[in-house]
C-alpha cells in the first residue's frame, strides 16, 4: 500500500514545474521564519491533547507570551528559553523509548503525535535503524520541491552546470529513489546508479518495487537509470567508472554514504586509479579525518551534506567547506539549538535539537533532540549561500551514541578512531574492515569485534588484545575493559560487517536486542 501511494505521488510530482529560482524561494522563507514558526505553534496551542500543548502549559507559556518573545528576541533565543523551561523532546522521547515527564506531569505521546498532515503524499524513505526500529518518513510535492531547491543551490554553488552524476545510494527502503527523482528534475539525472546492498533474497521485494518505480519515472521522461547492484565488498566498479569519467574531463559528482565513498577511494588507491576532479557528496556519517584523507589521496573533493529522513535538509556545504565536516544551516527550513547532554559519565556535550519551520514539514518538531552533536557558529565564508541569508554554520557534526554493554559507558567516536585508524595500521585492512557490535546475549549484553574476512591474517584473539589495550587508554575505557574481560562479555570473530537496513555502515553498531 505504501509503495502504491508512492507511485501515485511520484507521478503527480513529475508533472509539476521545477522551481528555477531557488534563491528567491530561500530568501522568502528566511524572511518568514518567525511567522511560520508562530503559525505552526498556534495549531498546537489549539489542540490541548497534543504533547507540545501540554509542554507549553507546564512551562507557563501562552501563545501571547510566545508571540511576544519571537517578535522581540527572534526564533533561536526563544527556543533556548523554552528549552530551559522544559519545552523540548529528547531523542528517546521522540522515538517512544522513554515517557515524557515535566514538572511531575506525565505526557502521553505516540509516533503519530509528531506527524504534520499538511503535506499529503508518499514520496520518502526510511531511517537507517542504526539506533532502533526504522522510521518511515513520507511527504508530498511541496517537501520534495524544497529538497530540489536546495539541491539546485548546491549544484550552482559548486559551479557544476550539468556534471556526470553517479549515485552510490541504497535502494528502497533507503533514500536512493528520492535522490534519483530530485537529480532527474534539477539536473539531467544520474548516468549510473551503482547501488550498495547487493542482490539477495532478503531484498528481493525492495528490488522489485525499486525497478517498478524507476520504470514509471523513465516512462514519464525522467533520466533514471536502473540500479546496478554491487557485489559483496566490491567497490571497484564505482572507482573504475569514476576514473574513466575523470579521464574524459567530465568532473563527475558522486553521492552516497561516507563509508561507501571512502571504500571507493580505497579501491581507487589500491588499483592506481586517479579520481582528480571528482566531487563527493557525503551523507549519513561524520567526515572524520581518516575518511577525508583516504578520499583526498586519490583526488576526490569531499563535501559534507547534513540531512535526516525525519526532518529533511539541515545543512548544505559551499565551495569553501570542501574537505570539512561543516555545512551552512538550512535556516529557511529549520532552527538548530543545543542543550547539554551527558553521554560519557561526567563528560557533557552539546546535543543538537531541531525545530521545523516549514508549513509542509513531515513532522512537527520544537526542540527535538536528533542524537547528534556539533558546533553552531556564524559563517565566515563569502559565498552564494551566505548572501541568501544562510549566515550560520554547523561544524564537527557527529553522533553521540555510546556503547553501554554491562553498564559501562564509552564514547562511540573514541572507539571509531581505534577501529578506523589504529587497527588497520597495525594489522592491515582499511576503513570498514573492523566493527564493534553490541548485542544482547543469553545472559548479558555482549560486545563483538567483527573483522572482515581477508582484512588480516592475524588471529582474532590477537586483534582483540590490541583493541582492549587501546580502548583501555580512552576515557572510561579501563573500567569497561575490566568489566568486559571479567564477564567474558567481549569476543572477536571473522565475518562480514553488519549494515543498517538502508545499507549504511557504522564502525560502532548498536543492535539492542537483536543478535549478530
Q: Cα separation of 159 and 70, whole Å?
A: 37
Indicate the SS3 state at residue 125: strand
**Residues 226, 193 contacting (CB under 8 angstroms):** yes
**Residues 209, 227 contacting (CB under 8 angstroms):** no
Alpha carbon distance, N-terminus to C-terminus of the chain: 31
- pTM for this entry: 0.79
CA-nearest of 266, 207, 215 to 238 is 266
**In sequence order, which residues have a C-beta less than 8 Å from that of residue 362 and are 6 or more positions away?**
115, 116, 119, 124, 137, 138, 139, 143, 310, 311, 312
pLDDT exceeds 50 at position 414? yes
Q: What is the pLDDT of residues 32-63, one digit of tens each?
A: 999 999 999 999 999 999 999 999 999 999 99
pLDDT exceeds 60 at position 421? yes
Query: Phi and psi of 30, rounded to 5°?
Result: -65, -40
Q: What is the pLDDT of residues 82-100, one digit of tens each?
A: 999 999 998 878 878 789 9
For the ranges 331-345, 384-398, 501-515, which has the lowest average pLDDT?
Answer: 501-515
Task: Tell me the pLDDT band of 322, cut-offs 50, 70 and 90.
Answer: very high
Q: What is the mean pLDDT of residues 190-196?
A: 92
Element (H, E) at 266: helix 258-270
Of 202 and 114, the one with more pLDDT = 114
pLDDT exceeds 60 at position 511? no
Of 423 and 346, the one with more pLDDT = 423
**Residues 138, 227 contacting (CB under 8 angstroms):** no
Task: Tell me the pLDDT band of 478, cut-offs 50, 70 and 90.
Answer: low
Using CA atoms, how far residue 455 sits from 127, 291, 415, 430, in Å, is 29, 18, 18, 8
403-510 belongs to which CATH class?
alpha beta
| DSSP per position, 181-230 | HHHHHHSS--SEEEETT-S-GGGHHHHHHHHHHHHHHHHTT---PPPEEP
Query: Phi and psi of 373, rounded to 5°?
Result: -130, 165
Domain chopping of the chain, boundaries: 32-114+329-400, 403-510
Amino acid at each position: 500500500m505504501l509503495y502504491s501511494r508512492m507511485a501515485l505521488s511520484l507521478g503527480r510530482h513529475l508533472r509539476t514545474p521545477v522551481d528555477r529560482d531557488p534563491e528567491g524561494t530561500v530568501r522568502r522563507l528566511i524572511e518568514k521564519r518567525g511567522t511560520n514558526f508562530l503559525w505552526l505553534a498556534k495549531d498546537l496551542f489549539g489542540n490541548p491533547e497534543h504533547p507540545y500543548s501540554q509542554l507549553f502549559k507546564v512551562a507557563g507559556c501562552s501563545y501571547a507570551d510566545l508571540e511576544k518573545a519571537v517578535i522581540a528576541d527572534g526564533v533561536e533565543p526563544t527556543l533556548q528559553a523554552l528549552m530551559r523551561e522544559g519545552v523540548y523532546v529528547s531523542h528517546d522521547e521522540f522515538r517512544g523509548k522513554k515517557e515524557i515527564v515535566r514538572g511531575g506531569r506525565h505526557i502521553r505521546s505516540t509516533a503519530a503525535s509528531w506527524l504534520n498532515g499538511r503535506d499529503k503524499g508518499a514520496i520518502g524513505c526510511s531511517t537507517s535503524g542504526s539506533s532502533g526500529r526504522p522510521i518511515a518518513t513520507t511527504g508530498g510535492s511541496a517537501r520534495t520541491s524544497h529538497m530540489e531547491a536546495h539541491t539546485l543551490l548546491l549544484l550552482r554553488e559548486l559551479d557544476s552546470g550539468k556534471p556526470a552524476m553517479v549515485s552510490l545510494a541504497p535502494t528502497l527502503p533507503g533514500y536512493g529513489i528520492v535522490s534519483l527523482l530530485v537529480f532527474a528534475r534539477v539536473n539531467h539525472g544520474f548516468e549510473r546508479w551503482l547501488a550498495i546492498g547487493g542482490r539477495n533474497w532478503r531484498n528481493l521485494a525492495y528490488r522489485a518495487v525499486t525497478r517498478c518505480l524507476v520504470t514509471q519515472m523513465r516512462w514519464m521522461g525522467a533520466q533514471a537509470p536502473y540500479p546496478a547492484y554491487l557485489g559483496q565488498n566490491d567497490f571497484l566498479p564505482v572507482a573504475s567508472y569514476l576514473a574513466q569519467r575523470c579521464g574524459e574531463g567530465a568532473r563527475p559528482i558522486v553521492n552516497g554514504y561516507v563509508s561507501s565513498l571512502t571504500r571507493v577511494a580505497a579501491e581507487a588507491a589500491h588499483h592506481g586509479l586517479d579520481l582528480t576532479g571528482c566531487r563527493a557528496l557525503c551523507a549519513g556519517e561524520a567526515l572524520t579525518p581518516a575518511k577525508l584523507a583516504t578520499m583526498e589521496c586519490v583526488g576526490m573533493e569531499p563535501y559534507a551534506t547534513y540531512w535526516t529522513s525525519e526532518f529533511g535538509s539541515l545543512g548544505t556545504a559551499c565551495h569553501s567547506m570542501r574537505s570539512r565536516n561543516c555545512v551552512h544551516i538550512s535556516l529557511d527550513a529549520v532552527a538548530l539549538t543545543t542543550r547539554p547532554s551527558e553521554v560519557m559519565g561526567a563528560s557533557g556535550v552539546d546535543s543538537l535539537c531541531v525545530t521545523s519551520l516549514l508549513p509542509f514539514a513531515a513532522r512537527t518538531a520544537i526542540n527535538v533532540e536528533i542524537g547528534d552533536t556539533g558546533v553552531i557558529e556564524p559563517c565566515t565564508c563569502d559565498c552564494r549561500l551566505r548572501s541568501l541569508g544562510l549566515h550560520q554554520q554547523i561544524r564537527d557534526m557527529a553522533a553521540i551514541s555510546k556503547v553501554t554493554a554491562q553498564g559501562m559507558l564509552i564514547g562511540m567516536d573514541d572507539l571509531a578512531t581505534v577501529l578506523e585508524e589504529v587497527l588497520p595500521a597495525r594489522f592491515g585492512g582499511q576503513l570498514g574492515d573492523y566493527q564493534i557490535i553490541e548485542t544482547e546475549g543469553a545472559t548479558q549484553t555482549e560486545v563483538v569485534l567483527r573483522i572482515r574476512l581477508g582484512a588480516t591474517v592475524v588471529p582474532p584473539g590477537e586483534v582483540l588484545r590490541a583493541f582492549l589495550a587501546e580502548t583501555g587508554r580512552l576515557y572510561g575505557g579501563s573500567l569497561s575493559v575490566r568489566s568486559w574481560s571479567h564477564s567474558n562479555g567481549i569476543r572477536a570473530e571473522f565475518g562480514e560487517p553488519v549494515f543498517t537496513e538502508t545499507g549504511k555502515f557504522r564502525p560502532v553498531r548498536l543492535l539492542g536486542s537483536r543478535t549478530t
